[in-house]
Amino acid sequence: MKEKDLVITPAKIRFAAMDLLTGREFSRSELAKKLDKRFDKDSAIKGVLDQLQEEGLQCDQRFAEAFVRSRLYRGHGMARIRMDIRQKGIGDDLFESAIEKAGINWFELARDVAQRKFGGRAAADQKEKAKRMRFLQYRGFNFDQIKYALQEKDFDEYTD
């Protein structure tokens, strides 16, 4: 018998939500989408989500902070993190709060990412420098951060 054939109750929705939340944090929007898909947009989903928030089991602020930390660990810049977190249904106010709480130096993060990716050698030519700039831009760093990260004085003067 398929789950769609069974009677959908708030308890079943809550159980499914709790099952998802045991693996990692989810934004309310993300959790709602998963539950809507699983329970065919049942009207009880909103109430279950409200209850989970009231009990502190689902929190968008906590999700935003965890999401930002994970993206910083991956070496993503602010623009990329902002774009990704918006897709998860998190507004700019929660995003800004999470970024502020992280207390990150974007220039140093961009430099660290460049060092890890390209090692300690300077770009051989303009084509290589443009490639590096595109990589850092894709990661979400702005022009000033990229310029800082790719300053020639940070790289050894030799080429391979």
Q: Where are the domains of the chain?
A: 3-54, 60-102, 106-154
Helices then strands, each counted (H, E), the chain: 9, 0
Better pLDDT: 139 or 41: 139
Query: Which tokens is 43 given?
Result: 């009207």
Q: Can 60-102 and 106-154 be said to share one CATH topology? A: yes
Fold (CATH) for 60-102: Arc Repressor Mutant, subunit A (1.10.10)
Q: What is the pLDDT of residue 41?
A: 86
pLDDT at 1 exceeding the cut of 60 = no
CA–CA dist 85, 87 (Å, integer): 5
CA–CA dist 102, 108 (Å, integer): 14
Fold (CATH) for 106-154: Arc Repressor Mutant, subunit A (1.10.10)
Condensed to tens digits (0 to 9), the pLDDT of residues 67-115 reads: 999 999 999 999 999 999 999 999 999 999 999 999 999 999 999 999 9
CA–CA dist 150, 145 (Å, integer): 9
CA–CA dist 115, 119 (Å, integer): 5
User: pTM (2 decimals)?
Assistant: 0.84
pLDDT at 147 exceeding the cut of 80 = yes
